[in-house]
Structure 1
Amino acid sequence: MIVGPFFAFAWPRGQPLSPRLQRVIAIAEAAPDLCKLVDLPGFIFLGSASSSHVLIEGGGIVWGPLFDRRSSTFSIKAGDGELHAPAERFLRNFWGGYLALRSFGDGVEILRDPSGMVPCYIATVDGVELATSAPKLFFELGLLEAERDWTVVAQALTFRDLRPAQTALRGISELLPGMAAKVGRGATRAQATWTPWRFAAEQVEIDDFADAVGAVREAVLQVGRAWSRTAAVPIVELSGGLDSSIVTASLALAGSAPLCATFVPIAGDSDERDFARAVAKQFELELIELVLDPAIVDISRSDSSELPRPCARSFTQALDRPLQQLARSVGGDMFLGGGGGDNIFCHLQSTLPVVDLLRRRGLSAAALRSTMDVAEVADVTFWQALRSVAKRTLDREQKLPTPRRNRFMADSAVHDLPWPQGNPWLEPSVQVLPGKRRQIWGLISISNHLEGYGRQHVAPMCSPLLSQPVVETCLRIPTWLWFNHGQNRSVAREAFRGLLPNSILGRRSKGAFDTLAANVIRRNASRLRSMLLDGVLVRQGVADPAKISAAFERPLPDGRAIVDLLVLADVEAWVCAWGE
């Protein structure tokens, strides 16, 4: 979340507010970080006056940073009539990290920008639609009783990162990114006003490598200039990987001087500090090296305990707590990073880009070269890659992503479990190639990693690469162009050639925290075993105690099992935060 909390009430004009809601509004308005910014018939909006927002003349508010595509300075002009434009035109003219609430007819339209940087949770109480970024208010103000939806909990463990509109707490839904909901007479209806599939169509492709490089460079530098103006003391999480390095460069080239933070790895994980140091030196930025300490991880605590779905990862507490301390010590007012870069820059681990090229242009010398490029990225032989391409070409086209079922779930919990509902980005709205489909499914998964961090209580978080101009540009680039010369994310690498150190542009390794995650399990093995076997998920029939026991009877399990155990523990911690 990149802006302070808000609480909005929308209902058909002429309909009276219940005495209960009148009392709730009075109580909420008395809170130190909430004041009444909009008070119109059928529409009340509460938020901090110091948070970034634009009041719309004639009724409405844009909550969060908003940038004008039509202006070289991105600034919004007071009284701009386009702030009242229909949602699709609004999205063409503006971008940012915002939620737009605008009066129309006899009601209110709530539009969430495609980046998803501002959360929006909705509940219906006494005939009124309540929207907030702080869903705990629904319970603190006595509007809802916490009741967990075990179907959605099971979906979180089976269809990992595919967020449904319904949350894991009954009565609360989420207005997903790119969606608009209209509140007026009759039922509230939500529809997709922005969809990634629109930018995957053949007729809008940027199919020349040089053109793609120029477009990506322009888009990333544009959003860097805009975001650089939103923070006085920005902190960039600079791992030294390509994505965070590109974000750092875009901010520095815009004249910002962010404080960079990287991590001293624990023994066994790769040391990326030389890469981070090279980027910091290139732009003469200060780099702080923070120490990771697995001992501070509390596996029984969920940093998403105030949210209506389990989306926090406990091992990240080891990174989160030092960042909190750093921000407090220097007055940091925004965390920025390269989140979403792999997905946006099409870091696919498959031969699907070659399949895309074959379907678009047929068997050709370009397809063979692309096969060699993909083989080099995947570290396999040309013939292995070619066999994979042949198999994928003959396979039936995949209509939905493959579920990533947690191996410790009970079989009965996944039997007849429905797919997550209400996410319009899951199924293509246009004819699209299989590799591009996989790229967009990866884009969907990002939404589950935008919140649930303790540091958001200290300063907001921003992922510039999720900004609309960057996402739209990258989706228009065919998948095979991202693998030129045997390098993944090759368009992004080339876009920043001459701007970033060659050590970053040529880097093939990718940092991870596998040893950190394993260390968390080792340190907490006895507690974790008891927590899971005696936990709510087992009692509810979601987790299988026999599978959990077997994992602890052997030496430390493999990488995938470590991930699944920690995810199960994360969900257990969230479930317990909402009652036994």
Structure 2
Amino acid sequence: MGYVVLTCPPGQACESLDAMVADLRATGTWMLAHRSFRLAVFTDSQVPPGVEALVDSSGVAGVLIGRAFDRAATTAGDVAPAWLGGLADLDPLNACARLVAESWGAYVAVFIGQPHAGPTVLRDPSGGLEVLAWPREGVTIVGSRAIEGRAGPVGLAIDWDQVTRILDDPISAALGAPPLKGLSHLEPGSVLHGPGLGDKTILWSPAAVVRAAKGRAWPDRAALRRTVDACIRALADGEATILSEISGGLDSAIVATSLAGGGLGPHAAINFFSDAPEADERRYAQAVADQIGVPLRTVRRRPFALSEAGLAASGRAARPNFNALDPDYDAGLVAALEASDAKVLFTGHGGDTVFYQVAASALAADLLRGAPCEGSRLRRLEEVARRTRRSVWSLALEALTLRPSRLSSDGQLLRIEASRRRLSGPSHAWLTDLSGVSPAKRQQITALASNLNVNGATGRGERARLVHPLLAQPIVELCLAIPAPVLSAGERERSFAREAFAERLPRRIVERRSKGDISVFLGRSLAASADFLRGFLLEGRLAARGLIDPAELAGALEPEALVWKDASKEILAAATLEAWVRHWEDRIAAGAEDPATARSGGETGPSASARKAKAR
């Protein structure tokens, strides 16, 4: 789903734009999707994003890339594209505000603007498409990745401070500013505008949604069902063959049964499992597949060994790409897509966040601070205590002191995260303004930022359109408006969603108390990779700059440590960043001196890498 937009003021810069257009066309990788005065749009991949011109009385004023749906139609249970009429006649900032308020989807809007004002760029609140921008020869380039060639950015440099922040907080910092100087980036729900795209306006944030919902009646379970069904209906509209990943958990079951209930598929399903009992959810996935009448493809996962070639896919994007860390998983999905001839993959990603399966102990803080709940507040507290295996008194002490307990795994993780944030500051723009947001909702927003990782480039993303409906803007907003103690009451998490969809789900799913866990699988994979990681990291760029402690890392890679201490997140983050630094140091050093690189026009995605590997 790659794209590149080029725009310029009238005059000499248009000659540069013409030269860049010719260079991109010559690559054979990029397809010209739109061309008009002062504007050109290219797309790539087997499932390129849509491109629609925004026209006013004087001609083309901009483009919308991706898919956008009409919010009012979705609320009514219908499917309709976003109404774009009249947008081009508005002031660009007002047009962006209208899009955010009246539309939803995965899209980027670019308005070319008046010559003296520069373009205006909007990224939708779900963040479905990446937005990077840079100037060159009077042309403003906006793209999903930092391409090479005549239109690529120049003067790039590694931002080592941001590299350090990502090491401190790999979950959400990697989704913040890319660790590259010379690129502008745009958070979901925000607008870049003004000369040189030097101004930024925030039109949407999760915290603003939470604050706006205070004091209002929260949506009921029927509203959640209607919203999920309506979003899935819109996202599946017009698709011939749909593959659904059914993990065996609640979230993917909700997505698959909603598709089936609307007569939209899925037409095939896939489940991954490993030998560890906690990572084998086939019986739950099969129950869902049997209920909706779809064949289930099961794929056995064996521990994988990391390699420099495998990590290379994680290092080519402008930001470290944790979504590309597991090449075997990616290959399994690509194979299933090819076998079913599906052009779209539906998942349940994001359900843990929007339905609230994060930081259970923070629920007690919300309850003790007066957050609304259903039923007895004391009973809700007792349920949280049983779920976390702690006393009400220890939860109360944590809520009053705002210091997570050392006595629970939940609290230990929160302490580590808090310590890292004190060192490096907020890791994502969504976490900078949380005033008036309760502890549990803060945890939900933090998890929401980390879920932006699912949009990272992968082989499956080149083969099919990836759809994560539970992260759609209407569903996210609805769940942010529901108090956390309501979303997750009782001794089982995600109770609100569990009750809302109970009638359509297999009883085995509704009554399930356990959750799949791949930590043992990851530990075994890291153990299989330990020899490689020692050389790759201990003799690597990060160690040379003193950003990782070689002795500490060597200890973490010992077999006993891999078994008894779960440092997989930190180890994988370091490996991904090491691959990223090596790639970008080499690319920056090469610059424009390599004619082959200049001609490549930005072949940096998974398929491009495969072609280059074959050439070698």
Q: Structure 1 length as normaliser, TM-score?
A: 0.88
Matches within 5 A, 1:16-415: 16-17=12-13, 20-32=16-28, 34-47=30-43, 51-58=49-56, 59-71=61-73, 72-76=77-81, 80-81=85-86, 86-106=95-115, 107-135=118-146, 137-138=147-148, 143-144=153-154, 147-163=157-173, 165-183=176-194, 185=195, 188-201=198-211, 203-204=213-214, 207=217, 211-258=219-266, 259-267=268-276, 269-295=278-304, 297-298=306-307, 300-302=309-311, 303-312=313-322, 316-360=326-370, 366-378=376-388, 380-381=389-390, 384-395=391-402
Answer whether contact 1:54 1:61 (CA < 8 A) is retained: yes
Aligned residues: 559
What RMSD in Å do the two structures reach over aligned CA positions? Answer: 3.1
Compared CA separation, residues 306 and 187, structure 1 to 2 (3 A): closer
**CA distance, structure 2, for counterparts of residue 428 and residue 249 of structure 1:** 37
Kindly state the Cα deviation for residue 63 of structure 1 after the two structures are TM-superposed. Answer: 0.9
**CA distance, structure 1, for counterparts of residue 281 and residue 550 of structure 2:** 39
Match of 2:466 among 449, 461, 464: 461
Answer whether contact 1:97 1:113 (CA < 8 A) is retained: yes
Kindly state the Cα deviation for residue 41 of structure 1 after the two structures are TM-superposed. Answer: 4.4
Kindly state the Cα deviation for residue 145 of structure 1 after the two structures are TM-superposed. Answer: 5.5
- The answer to which of 19-28 and 43-52 deviates more is 43-52
Question: Amino acid of the residue matched to residue 5 of structure 1?
Answer: G
**CA distance, structure 1, for counterparts of residue 139 and residue 179 of structure 2:** 21
Question: Amino acid of the residue matched to residue 473 of structure 2?
Answer: Q
Aligned residue in 1 for 2:610 = none
Answer whether contact 1:236 1:248 (CA < 8 A) is retained: yes
**CA distance, structure 2, for counterparts of residue 240 and residue 45 of structure 1:** 41
**CA distance, structure 2, for counterparts of residue 142 and residue 79 of structure 1:** 30
Aligned residue in 2 for 1:574 = 580
Cα offsets for 1:357-413 (capped at 9, x unmatched): 3323699982201102212332x15xx13321233124389xxx9685799xxxxxx
**CA distance, structure 2, for counterparts of residue 67 and residue 532 of structure 1:** 45
**CA distance, structure 2, for counterparts of residue 559 and residue 7 of structure 1:** 44
**CA distance, structure 1, for counterparts of residue 101 and residue 83 of structure 2:** 18
**CA distance, structure 2, for counterparts of residue 524 and residue 363 of structure 1:** 47
Q: What SS does the aligned partner of 2:257 have?
A: helix
Answer whether contact 1:304 1:311 (CA < 8 A) is retained: yes
**CA distance, structure 2, for counterparts of residue 429 and residue 307 of structure 1:** 29
Answer whether contact 1:115 1:467 (CA < 8 A) is retained: yes
Kindly state the Cα deviation for residue 148 of structure 1 after the two structures are TM-superposed. Answer: 2.4
**CA distance, structure 2, for counterparts of residue 563 and residue 262 of structure 1:** 23
* Structure 2 residue ranges without an equivalent (≥5): 405-412, 587-616
Kindly state the Cα deviation for residue 24 of structure 1 after the two structures are TM-superposed. Answer: 1.9
**CA distance, structure 1, for counterparts of residue 32 and residue 212 of structure 2:** 47
Q: What SS does the aligned partner of 2:283 have?
A: helix
Question: Amino acid of the residue matched to residue 29 of structure 1?
Answer: R
Answer whether contact 1:312 1:451 (CA < 8 A) is retained: yes
**CA distance, structure 1, for counterparts of residue 462 and residue 256 of structure 2:** 23
Kindly state the Cα deviation for residue 268 of structure 1 after the two structures are TM-superposed. Answer: 5.2
Answer whether contact 1:123 1:131 (CA < 8 A) is retained: yes
**CA distance, structure 2, for counterparts of residue 395 and residue 415 of structure 1:** 15
* Structure 1 residue ranges without an equivalent (≥5): 408-413
Kindly state the Cα deviation for residue 424 of structure 1 after the two structures are TM-superposed. Answer: 3.3
Q: What SS does the aligned partner of 1:360 have?
A: coil
**CA distance, structure 2, for counterparts of residue 230 and residue 299 of structure 1:** 40
Answer whether contact 1:314 1:566 (CA < 8 A) is retained: no
Compared CA separation, residues 452 and 38, structure 1 to 2 (3 A): closer
**CA distance, structure 1, for counterparts of residue 120 and residue 416 of structure 2:** 35
Q: What SS does the aligned partner of 1:560 have?
A: coil
Aligned residue in 1 for 2:605 = none
**CA distance, structure 1, for counterparts of residue 11 and residue 215 of structure 2:** 48
2:479 is equivalent to residue 481 of structure 1: no
Answer whether contact 1:346 1:439 (CA < 8 A) is retained: yes
Kindly state the Cα deviation for residue 203 of structure 1 after the two structures are TM-superposed. Answer: 4.6
Compared CA separation, residues 243 and 205, structure 1 to 2 (3 A): farther
**CA distance, structure 2, for counterparts of residue 364 and residue 499 of structure 1:** 23
Aligned residue in 2 for 1:410 = none
Answer whether contact 2:249 2:509 (CA < 8 A) is retained: yes
Kindly state the Cα deviation for residue 298 of structure 1 after the two structures are TM-superposed. Answer: 3.3
Kindly state the Cα deviation for residue 342 of structure 1 after the two structures are TM-superposed. Answer: 1.0
Q: What SS does the aligned partner of 2:72 have?
A: coil
**CA distance, structure 2, for counterparts of residue 443 and residue 314 of structure 1:** 19
Answer whether contact 1:300 1:569 (CA < 8 A) is retained: no
Match of 1:434 among 439, 452, 463: 439
Compared CA separation, residues 24 and 315, structure 1 to 2 (3 A): closer
**CA distance, structure 2, for counterparts of residue 81 and residue 205 of structure 1:** 35
Cα offsets for 1:519-539 (capped at 9, x unmatched): 212222222211111111111
Compared CA separation, residues 387 and 471, structure 1 to 2 (3 A): same
Compared CA separation, residues 549 and 504, structure 1 to 2 (3 A): same
Cα offsets for 1:116-164 (capped at 9, x unmatched): 11111112223432111132x1468554365322222111110222336
Kindly state the Cα deviation for residue 51 of structure 1 after the two structures are TM-superposed. Answer: 3.6
Kindly state the Cα deviation for residue 40 of structure 1 after the two structures are TM-superposed. Answer: 4.2
Answer whether contact 1:333 1:459 (CA < 8 A) is retained: yes
Answer whether contact 2:356 2:444 (CA < 8 A) is retained: yes
**CA distance, structure 2, for counterparts of residue 430 and residue 562 of structure 1:** 32
**CA distance, structure 1, for counterparts of residue 156 and residue 433 of structure 2:** 35
Compared CA separation, residues 112 and 549, structure 1 to 2 (3 A): same
Match of 1:9 among 6, 16, 20: 6
Question: Amino acid of the residue matched to residue 123 of structure 2?
Answer: R
Kindly state the Cα deviation for residue 15 of structure 1 after the two structures are TM-superposed. Answer: 5.1
**CA distance, structure 1, for counterparts of residue 422 and residue 48 of structure 2:** 48
